[in-house]
């Protein structure tokens, strides 16, 4: 395929032969608008304006390839058909500013206005959904007028928001046979509805729109065949990840103290969505309880809402017990509210009624907050709860966070032996964490004992690590070399003897660097006497100049 190049101003280079067709360009813009957070789009636009994009190229009519100059040159690929497969070589996870910069640079290359599309992304004017002529672009005058006008229609009726979304987009999930790509325009269309509303009300509408779209993804996931479910779970979760992130960011901006009655009604509709949903459903694509907690993280200090929610949850719990159908979500939600009220013992007792694997990550979040607060008494309660569960469910996702918190606690409270006890008790599964921890704490004797226990030889360790310990605490390496040398000799073959001599020469350097030549000579004499009948070993010791 021949490609023609032209150098543009500022040193940027773009291809001038191929362009995306209108349909793919519209699809790309829709995907970018629904997938990349607004603040990331702003950073990308700034990169484009500062001429950080070095090149843009259309590949096979389906993808846009570009390079961006940052701390290093980043290569970006924007997949128009499956935007979730777009990539960037930068270390950032998910969609990044380099992707946004290449997107705007392509618009300039295609002869369109990057400023215009950027305004559409930020403010909703001239939404791409109306590019085919369904509706005119909103003028600045109409936008400002709408912001000042009395609230009418959907803006004034939060109770109708979800019904409106369901009526317009409720069946789109059926188009998601192999990907969630059809849901991206749904999210963009929902956001377009409230683009001219007050910012605070628009935020809540967008949160409900994201939850609705995520629920559509759950419907699509539930209809996948069990044989391919793992593949769909990975692909679908990757597609919805930026939506979830934006929901959490929007939730973090809520402030109950400044909400109007209309905004409080809108938030109540969000809570109602969780109340009416089957939160304990098996085979879910997302952790819906984390979405619930993201919302309650902002509402929990509002006494009116908290009292009302606790009353509803307790009624729900009582009805479940009466029906003989205990759930994990209701006790989990009550535990979260108890934790927020500093009733950690009550929270732990509530979680103990649930299946550990379903609620362990919430316990980790609670423990981490107490660790940050250095509330050692409450932290001990949470760590004890996690320890009890992990002794039974070793493969829980909470195992890694548990080990990390024990390490942090030991660093901050070194006089408490419990933290290291927890780490040691999970050997051999905690070997890596314990090894790193003792090195971080410069507890080289304990580190060496652990290597001896697992039979780790110096040749199996990182060379740089051995050098560092040789300088910091060379004596702890003596028994490691002794054990490795004995093992090599026990092989009873020439190759093993040569390995033993190789290790002895390294050990000799350690002894003599510490001015322990007499100790080294005694060690060599002991080896010679102990294995005097092994003629091949004696020969290798002589050849290696260990003995003369």
pLDDT score recorded for residue 137: 38
The tokens for 486 are 């004995």
Q: Which residue has the higher pLDDT, 522 or 50?
A: 522
Q: How many CB atoms lie within 10 A of CB 307?
A: 11
- Collect all residues with Cβ–Cβ distance below 8 Å to 84 and sequence separation of at least 6: 35, 179, 180, 181, 235, 238, 239
Residue 22: per-residue pLDDT: 81
Whether the CB-CB separation of 106 and 22 falls below 8 Å is answered with: no
Q: Can you tell me the mean pLDDT for 297-308?
A: 90
pTM for this predicted structure: 0.63
pLDDT for res 184: 86
Residues 6+ apart with CB under 8 A from 294: 247, 248, 251, 252
**pLDDT tens readout for residues 116-143:** 888 777 655 444 433 333 333 333 333 3
CA 80/CA 19 separation, integer angstroms: 12
Q: What is the pLDDT of residues 163-207, one digit of tens each?
A: 999 999 999 999 887 888 888 888 888 988 888 888 999 999 999
Edge-to-edge strand ranges of the sheet holding 13-15? 5-7, 13-15, 53-59, 63-69, 73-79, 87-88
Q: What is the C-alpha to C-alpha distance for residues 212 and 273, in angstroms, rounded to an integer?
A: 9
Query: Is 145 within 8 Å of 56 (Cβ atoms)?
Result: no
pLDDT of residue 109: 81
Residue 281 pLDDT grade (very low, low, confident, very high; cuts 50, 70, 90):
confident
Closest C-alpha to 211, from 260, 165, 146, 175:
165
What tens digit of pLDDT does each residue of 46-83 get? 888 888 899 888 887 788 999 999 888 889 999 888 88
- Interval 335-386: pLDDT, tens: 999 998 999 999 999 999 888 988 898 999 999 999 999 999 999 999 999 9
């Amino acid at each position: 395929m021949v490609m023609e190049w032209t150098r543009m101003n500022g040193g940027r280079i773009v291809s001038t032969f191929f362009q995306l067709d209108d349909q793919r360009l519209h699809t790309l813009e829709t995907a970018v608008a629904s997938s990349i957070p607004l603040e990331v789009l702003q950073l990308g636009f700034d990169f484009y304006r500062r001429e950080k994009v070095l090149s843009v190229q259309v590949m096979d009519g389906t993808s846009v390839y570009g390079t961006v100059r940052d701390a290093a040159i980043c290569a970006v690929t924007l997949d128009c058909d499956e935007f979730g497969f777009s990539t960037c070589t930068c270390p950032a996870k998910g969609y990044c500013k380099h992707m946004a910069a290449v997107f705007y640079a392509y618009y300039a290359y295609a002869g369109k206005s990057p400023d215009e599309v950027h305004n559409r992304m930020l403010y909703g004017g001239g939404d791409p959904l109306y590019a085919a002529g369904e509706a005119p672009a909103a003028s600045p005058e109409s936008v400002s007028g709408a912001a000042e006008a009395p609230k009418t229609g959907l803006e004034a009726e939060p109770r109708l928001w979800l019904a409106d979304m369901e009526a317009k987009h409720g069946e789109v999930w059926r188009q998601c046979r192999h990907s969630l790509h059809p849901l991206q325009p749904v999210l963009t269309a929902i956001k377009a509805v409230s683009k001219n509303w007050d910012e605070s009300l628009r935020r809540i509408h967008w949160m409900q729109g994201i939850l609705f779209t995520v629920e559509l993804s759950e419907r699509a996931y539930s209809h996948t065949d069990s044989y391919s479910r793992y593949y769909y779970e990975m692909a679908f979760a990757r597609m919805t990840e930026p939506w979830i992130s934006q929901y959490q960011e929007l939730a973090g901006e809520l402030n109950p103290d400044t909400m109007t009655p209309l905004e409080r009604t809108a938030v109540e509709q969000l809570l109602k969505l969780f109340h009416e949903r089957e939160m304990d459903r098996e085979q879910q694509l997302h952790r819906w309880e984390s979405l619930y907690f993201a919302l309650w993280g902002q509402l929990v200090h509002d006494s009116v809402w908290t009292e009302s929610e606790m009353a509803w949850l307790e009624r729900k719990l009582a009805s479940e017990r009466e029906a003989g159908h205990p759930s994990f979500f209701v006790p989990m939600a009550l535990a979260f509210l108890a934790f927020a009220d500093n009733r950690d013992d009550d929270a732990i007792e509530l979680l103990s009624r649930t299946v550990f694997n379903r609620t362990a990550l919430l316990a980790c979040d609670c423990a981490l907050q107490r660790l940050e607060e250095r509330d050692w008494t409450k932290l001990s309660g949470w760590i004890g709860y996690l320890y009890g569960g992990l002794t039974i469910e070793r493969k829980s996702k909470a195992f890694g966070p548990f080990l990390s918190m024990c390490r942090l606690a030991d660093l901050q409270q070194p006089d408490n032996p419990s933290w290291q006890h927890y780490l040691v008790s999970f050997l051999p599964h905690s070997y890596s964490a314990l090894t790193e921890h003792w090195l971080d704490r410069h507890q080289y004797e304990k580190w060496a004992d652990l290597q001896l226990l697992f039979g780790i030889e110096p040749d199996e360790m990182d060379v740089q690590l051995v050098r560092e310990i040789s300088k910091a605490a060379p004596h702890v390496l003596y028994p490691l070399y002794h054990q490795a040398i004995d093992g090599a000799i026990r092989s009873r073959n020439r190759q093993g003897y040569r390995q033993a001599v190789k290790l002895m020469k390294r050990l000799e350097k350690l002894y003599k660097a510490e001015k322990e030549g007499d100790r080294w000579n005694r060690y060599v004499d002991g080896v010679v006497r102990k294995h005097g009948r092994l003629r091949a070993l004696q020969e290798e010791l002589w050849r290696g100049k260990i003995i003369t």
